Structure 1
Amino acid sequence: MSPIIVIGTGLAGFNLLKELRKLDQETPVILLTSDDGRNYSKPMLSTGFTKSKQADELAMGGPEQTATAFNATVRTGVTVTAIDRAAKEVVLGDERLAYSKLVLACGAEVFRPPLEGDGLDRVYTVNDLMDYARFREAVAGKKTVLITGGGLIGCEFANDLTNGGYQVHLVEPVGRCLPALLPEQASLAVSDALSKLGVVFHFGVFVQRVDQHGDGVRATLSDGSTVEADLVLSAVGLRPRIALAEAAGLETGRGIRVDRCLRTSDADIYALGDCAEVDGHVLLYVLPLMAAARALAKTLAGEETPVSYGVMPVSIKTPACPVVCMPPPAEVAGEWEFEIDGHHVKGLFRDAEGQLRGYALTGDACGERMKLNKELPALF
């Protein structure tokens, strides 16, 4: 019998294997990854400086431990170059591996905005544990970091690096932090708290070029101003990895399109996690990923199980001003109402019928998340 092959060993791939082995201990499973295959929690990458953790200390185990604990084969440092759907094989250069079922858990890749200048080798991204190790080594002994992007990852790293003793400048073109997740009142609470911590914000501009300047860099912003730093951390956003699926002729949109059972347009190929577009939804967060892993494990074990997305709040690790939010659906018309006490903001979004459809909580107001979750309708 050909094995189940899973491409990717991040949270999606690892948790799928863990959930599958609760139901089926014998079906052969092969995990393929282009990185070193260590098991780690990606959300912990933006807490490493606060906790003074090196990359090795964030890893919970190596590929050998995963293979032994879950009766699987883990192949590291390999790149899947193609999927031969007709032959039901994945192609690794000159090698081919047959599969019974194939799972794409490829994650998302960092969006890299076009930059000019001769200092681009000092622009880093952190999207996995190996990236974190490189960035951690590069920033050792340095003092100032410029972060491009004021979304979830940018704000979390701004708080984390400041806690680690670095001077942080953050550039966000939209004009406020966390613009895709929070209404303005909650955004202001977060930026004010981070400013008090020492983060310097540059709102309404973007980085145009990064040039070498002494032992560091000089970034030129779109308004002509400059910021000097030791290096740059780019946190502009993520895009689902869909190139492999596209090349194989699978249906794609913003992500790899799958139904509620996480099945692609090919009945023997599935996708989950950050690379997947589930029934029209692309959710690059942990809660939907975990729900998908549990559902897909049941399907692969023989019990076809559609994933259910209940209330999927997003927690943002900014200890200076903790945030929990449930952004309202874009197609729902309604209004926000607020209770504000300094950094403690309770924002509720209600539709025309008065039904709660979203919320934004900061500071002490985060304690109300469980009560509010009970009022919200499930996503599906």
Structure 2
Amino acid sequence: MNELNNKKPPVVIIGTGLAGYNLAREFRKHDSETPLLLITSDDGRSYSKPMLSTGFAMNKSADALGMTVAGPMAIQLNAEIRTHTQVTRLDPAHRRVWIGNEPVPYRDLVIAWGAQTIRVPVAGDAQDAVFPVNDLLDYGRFREAAHGKRRILILGAGLIGCEFANDLLHGGYEVELVAPCEQIMPSLLPPEPAAAVQRGLESLGARFHLGPVLERLERQGDVLQARLSNGQRIDCDLVVSAVGLRPRIELAAAAGLAVNRGIEVDRMLRTSAEHVYALGDCAEVDGLNLFYVMPLMSGVRALGKTLAGQPTPVTYGPMPITVKTPICPLVVSPPAAESEGSWSVEGQGSDLRALFRSSDGTLLGYALTGAAVQERLALNKQLPPVLAELPQVLSLKSSE
């Protein structure tokens, strides 16, 4: 790995996921010389997180999903990468982070450590058989545990739960999903498209238990027995937790940074502390938490320029989400949470076109399933931006 120039503090990025590595690449397009340090608590392999929910159908191991290990990445980026390294404290007043007892100075700091899976409490003696799959190491552990197994219980029927269900079913597993909701993907979809996707997954063999929650998980010999809140019992071999993500904010809050649902940043991705930025799943940008690739990459492009001395506010155009449920293709652009309007649904079977319009007819969101996904490009042109361009570029406080 390249040694940092000790006379000049580096730009420090915490995290080597999609946000961290892509920001480093973008920064290097504009600045090839400033020292760059990436710190990660995992092994630093470069990989695409969305591929984690396609691995079983493609019969891909964790190593096969990984693209480049840390050493070659350091060479590509002209950077130092410190793997298996835990940042223990942020110290924005002195422009440094702490790794145990070691202070690491920075010119600018970017927090890109992502979000953590929400863990639901489950009684019983088999909590170690509940697997979150939030990164490549998680995927590797789950895939190893799933070898030779057959029946998978998924907690959650949101986007991630449904994607994993489709993937595991194509991988030859039996899948049941448990979620305390009346329909799948309730925060994204109106009932009709949700039902179409559910029917598609059921056609592959998925079984849904919508309404109850998992109360207890116990070992019965070689089998796990899941007891639901409605009294039903389900035998399975492993459990996948896909109940959602929560931005990692604890260290930021302890350092005095403003936090809400995520680490609060403005349109320049600046936190409440000077020379400290946040990007990706951990960041709350102008009040928005968006756990998707498109807004992340918009932030990467803007912040890469900003760190290189070209202040650039982030903008979000329409942000459609392509959900990986190929048995029933789905593209959704949900309306903003405060939007007033109503859904209208056209089509039949699995080919549905659901449009959310305001009272004056303005298109604010859509959900397309089956063959209707072909309409997404035309509809995107009608949608308002999620974060519009600012009337003028905000100025950055100069880096010293």
TM-score (norm 1): 0.99
Matched with 1:159 is 166
- Of 255, 273, 297 in structure 2, the residue corresponding to residue 290 of structure 1 is 297
Give me the whole-angstrom Cα distance separating, in 2, the residues matched to 1:176 and 1:376.
Answer: 26
1:254 to 261, 279, 288: 261
2:67 is matched by which residue type in structure 1? Answer: M
Structure 1 position 70, deviation (Å): 1.0
Q: Which residue of 1 aligns with 2:33?
A: 26
Match of residue 240, structure 2, among 230, 233, 236: 233
- Indicate yes or no: 2:149 matched with 1:142: yes
**What SS does structure 1 have at the residue aligned with 2:125?**
coil
Aligned pairs for 1:122-271 within 5 A: 122-271=129-278
Which residue in 1 is equivalent to 2:55? Answer: 48
**Which residue of structure 1 lines up, in the alignment, with residue 279 of structure 2?**
272
What is the alpha-carbon distance in structure 2 between the residues aligned to residue 376 and residue 210 of structure 1?
45
Name the CA distance, whole Å, in 2 between partners of 1:353 and 1:267: 43
Task: For 2:251 and 2:297, locate their aligned partners in 1 and report how far apart those are by CA, in whole Å.
Answer: 23
Q: Is the 8 A contact 2:92 2:274 kept in 1?
A: no
Structure-2 residue corresponding to 1:318: 325
> Is contact 2:116–2:247 with CA below 8 Å preserved after alignment?
yes
1:113 aligns with 2:126: no
Q: Cα offset for 1:367?
A: 0.7
Residue 141 of structure 1, CA deviation:
0.5
Q: CA deviation at 1:340?
A: 2.2
Corresponding position: 1:339 with 2:346: yes
213-222 vs 2-11, which moves further: 213-222
> How many Å separate the matches in 2 of 1:370 and 1:93?
49
| Amino acid paired to 1:87 | H
Match of 1:304 among 298, 308, 311: 311
**What are the ranges of 5 or more consecutive residues in structure 1 without an aligned counterpart?**
none
Name the residue aligned to 1:355: 362
Q: What's the counterpart of residue 58 of structure 1?
A: 65
State the one-letter code of the partner of 2:65.
Answer: L
- Count matched residues: 380
Q: Distance in 1 between matches of 2:208 and 2:291?
A: 25
In the other structure, the counterpart of 2:110 is 103
Q: Distance in 2 between matches of 1:311 and 1:261?
A: 19
* Structure 2 equivalent of residue 366 of structure 1: 373
Residue aligned with 2:93, SS: coil
Secondary structure at the counterpart of residue 52 of structure 1:
coil
Q: Is the 8 A contact 2:118 2:244 kept in 1?
A: yes
C-alpha deviations, 1:201-234, integer Å up to 9, x for none?
1111111111112213111101011111001001
What SS does the aligned partner of 1:315 have? strand
- 2:288 counterpart letter in structure 1: H
User: C-alpha distance in 2, partners of 1:83/1:143?
Assistant: 44
Task: Give the superposed CA RMSD.
Answer: 0.6
Give the superposition deviation at 1:344: 1.0
- The CA distance in 2 between the partners of 1:370 and 1:340, in whole Å, is 18
Secondary structure, aligned partner of 1:145: strand
Secondary structure of 1:14's aligned partner? helix
Q: TM-score, normalised by structure 2?
A: 0.94
Q: Is the 8 A contact 2:247 2:282 kept in 1?
A: yes
Distance 1:253 1:122 in 2: 32
Partner-residue secondary structure (3-state), 1:57: helix
